[in-house]
Amino acid sequence: MMAPRTPEEIIELYTPHMPEHEWEEIGPFVRDVVRRGFAPTQVAQVATGRIGIVTSLVRWALEQGLPLDVEQIFHPATVNRYAVTIGGLSDATRCTRRSTLTTLSRRITRTAPWEPPREVLRYPRSTVPYSGTQVSQLLWWAPRQRSTVRQQGLAAAVALGVGAGLRGTEMLGVRASDVRRRGEHVIVAVRGPRARQVPVRPEYAAAVLDAAEQAGGGHLFRDPVPRVEFVGLLLGRCEVPAGLEPVTASRLRLTWEVAMVQALPLPVFMRMSGLTNTNRLSDILDGITQRKRRWWTSAELDALAEAVPW
Confidence of residue 288 (pLDDT cuts 50, 70, 90): confident
Which amino acid, one-letter code, is at 76?
Answer: P
Question: Could you give the percent of the chain with pLDDT greater than 90?
Answer: 71
pLDDT tens-digit series, residues 214-230 = 999 999 999 999 998 99
Distance CA 46, CA 164 (A): 46
Judged by DSSP in three states, 175 sits in strand
pLDDT tens-digit series, residues 111-147 = 988 887 666 555 555 468 999 999 999 999 999 999 9
Q: Is 125 inside any structural domain? A: no
Average pLDDT over the chain, rounded to an integer:
91
Residue 124: its pLDDT value, please? 53
Distance CA 242, CA 252 (A): 16
Q: Is 57 inside any structural domain? A: yes
Distance CA 222, CA 228 (A): 11
Q: Running DSSP on this structure, what letter comes out for residue 221?
A: S
Residue 122: its pLDDT value, please? 56
Q: By residue range, what is the domain housing residue 256?
A: 132-290
Residue 3: its pLDDT value, please? 59
Of 167 and 90, the one with more pLDDT? 167
Residues 151 and 222 in one domain: yes
- What CATH number did the domain enclosing 166 receive? 1.10.443.10
Residues 152 and 38 in one domain: no
In the chain, the DSSP E strands lie at 179-182, 185-190, 196-199
Q: Is 304 inside any structural domain? A: no
Q: Is 172 inside any structural domain? A: yes
Residues 93 and 136 in one domain: no
CB atoms within 10 A of CB 23: 17
Q: What's the rounded mean pLDDT across residues 94-122? A: 85
Question: Could you give the percent of the chain with pLDDT greater than 70?
Answer: 95
Question: Under 8 Å CB-to-CB from 119, ≥6 apart: which residues?
Answer: none
Q: What's the rounded mean pLDDT across residues 99-106? A: 94
Residues 138 and 80 in one domain: no
- For the chain, the domain total comes to 2
Residues 255 and 199 in one domain: yes
Distance CA 204, CA 179 (A): 13
Q: Is 308 inside any structural domain? A: no
C-beta separation of 41 from 47 below 8 A: yes
Residues 173 and 223 in one domain: yes
